[in-house]
Structure 1
Amino acid sequence: MTLTTDHFESFDGTRLALHRMGEGRPIVLLHGLFSSAQMNWIRFGHAERIAGQGYEVLMLDFRVHGDSAAPREAEAYPDNVLVRDAAALVDQLGLTDYDLGGFSLGARTSLHAVAHGVLEPARLIVGGMGTAGLGEWAKRAAFFRRVIDEFDAIPKGDPAYFSMQFLKSQGTDRVAARHLLGSMPDLDLALLERVTMPTLVVCGDEDRDNGSAEELANLLPNADFMEVPGTHMGSVTKPDLGRAMADWLGSPA
């Protein structure tokens, strides 16, 4: 299936990459922290599986990620900048009737956007996210700041070593990444009652990185909960994640 990549300017002129696959009903997919559309959606076939059911899969690379720009100026990272990037994409494409999905940071960004009334998708998919990743994000951000600050000094066996290796493999700009981490506020879990559209909460059966996904599903007014095999990083490498998303979406009406 054909994959194309374009670029557009976000709300502040930052150049962002958009990857497209398929034709049909639009679904916007947002990737995880320090990952990319290629890593989360394309490489392991999830986008192709969804596109094969009659969807146009629209995959954003957030700023500091993938093929998008990574500005180093602090002013390029206002609060919830990634929500604004996602909204800029929806505006750029003129989407009015669409679905939205995200994994990890992408799921967190999607929930912030919907809970604050910035985006109004018809349906929502929340992958690899639990209540702690929303209401206690400051702790998670502190972990990644340590990864950035201590980087090459982190020894093997340290819980942060794998994350450091992942950042290195992705070529992440650490100056920009540190700014980005400071732009992500916690979400008041009471706001989840505003997320009223049909929602799939899907998470690896060994994934506790962001707290309880099942608890998150219970807080959402109209959510289905599904487990797939894998850890937080491992679940995106298995076909089960894409299959669960595609099966839940079904074919467009």
Structure 2
Amino acid sequence: MTGPQFLTQMPEPKFLMVGDGYRIATYSWGEDAAPTVALVHGFASSTKDNWVATGWVRDLTAAGFRVLALDQRGHGASDKPHEASAFDIRQLALDVESVLDTYLVDEAFYVGYSLGARVGWEVVQDLSPRVPRAVLGGVPDGIPLARLDVAQVRRLIADGTPVTDRVTLNYLALAERVPGNDLRSLLAIAEGMRSSHTVDPDPVHAPQQPVMFATGSLDAVIEGSRALAAACPQGRFVEIPDRHHFNAPGSRVFRSAAIAFLREG
């Protein structure tokens, strides 16, 4: 399918059950024999919002890749638990592994944005023989969602107390923009990221394979992302001009640089 409709056309999700009992929605485009790119979206987003509506699926398939994507737990058509314990960073990485195993994918490139990029930092190390090259966009060098004011969101849910923190308001606007988001589940994600099991990315144990880091020039996490790129033996950094954290996925510069990088593999 070509033309404008391809930007928003979604196949029916295929569901798989992961180890702790939650259903994960997955999607696939392209020929099975083509090189596979696994796409993992950011917080309060979804496969459709982060990758389809922005042209990534269109451009990747046009470039000859097979695309395999998932709605991370708490998002899209996947299950949306309200318990913070369901959102351990290690479990999010295991969800990606489960998708690759279910689709019998022995090797895949990885492309993640924001929370999906932070999960990718784990995946590219856990599955290094299976992930020869990765793109991590808007990746924080600290705990994901650390700038979200959890207490204010709790009060908003409990009694409607208005949120005043500017960064938190931006996250809420993002959450409201994507149909089907569950605010209690998104709050649980933020709380889960603060658990003792989630640690800052450790540059001492940086991925060894080629990794492209890309962050908007107006994004508050840009210097941390640049530092992670510098810590990787085969790291590369791309600054996405005139983009902040919430609109960088739609950048043509970002897409073009990522596809060119993946083609090097």
Specify if TM > 0.5.
Answer: yes
Question: Given that residues 46 and 243 in structure 1 are in contact (C-alpha distance below 8 angstroms), is that contact kept between their aligned partners in structure 2?
Answer: no
Q: Does 1:137 align with 2:143?
A: yes
Q: Is the 8 A contact 1:87 1:119 kept in 2?
A: no
Q: Could you say if the C-alpha distance between residues 156 and 145 of structure 1 is closer, same or farther in structure 2, counting changes exceeding 3 Å? A: closer
Are the aligned partners of 1:46 and 1:241 in contact in 2 as well (CA < 8 Å)?
Answer: no
Structure 2 residue aligned with 1:9, among 12, 17, 20?
17
Q: TM-score, normalising length from structure 1?
A: 0.86
How many equivalent pairs are there?
A: 246
Identity over aligned pairs, percent = 23
TM-score of the aligned structures, taking structure 2 as reference length = 0.82
Q: Which has the higher contact order (CA 8 A, sep 6+)?
A: 1
Letter in 2 for 1:164: L
Match of 1:127 among 103, 125, 137: 137
Q: Which amino acid aligns with 2:254?
A: L
Q: Which residue of 1 aligns with 2:48?
A: 38
CA distance in 1, matches of 2:68, 2:239: 24
Q: Hey, what's the Cα distance between the residues in 2 that align with 1:127 and 1:64?
A: 20
Tell whether 2:259 aligns with 1:246.
Answer: yes
Match of residue 221, structure 1, among 197, 214, 233: 233
Structure 2 CA distance for aligned equivalents of residues 234 and 219 of structure 1: 26
- Counterpart in the other structure of 2:99: 89
* Distance (Å, rounded) in 2 between the aligned partners of 1:165 and 1:63: 20
- Equivalent residue, structure 1, for 2:187: 178
Q: CA deviation at 1:31?
A: 0.4
- Match of 2:250, SS state, is coil
Counterpart-to-counterpart distance in 2, 1:119 and 1:173: 36
CA distance in 1, matches of 2:225, 2:19: 32
Q: Secondary structure at the match of 1:17?
A: strand
1:233 aligns with 2:246: yes
Aligned partners of 1:127, 1:74: CA distance in 2, in Å? 24
Cα displacement (A) at 1:203 = 1.4
Map 1:42-53; keep pairs closer than 5 Å.
Answer: 42-53=52-63
- Aligned twin of 2:123: 113
Deviation at 1:147, TM superposition (A): 5.0
CA RMSD of aligned residues (A): 2.5
Return the alpha-carbon distance in structure 2 between the equivalents of residues 155 and 12 of structure 1. 33
The aligned amino acid for 2:251 is: K
**Partner of 1:28 in structure 2?**
38
Say if 1:176 and 1:155 are closer, same or farther in 2 by CA, change over 3 A: closer
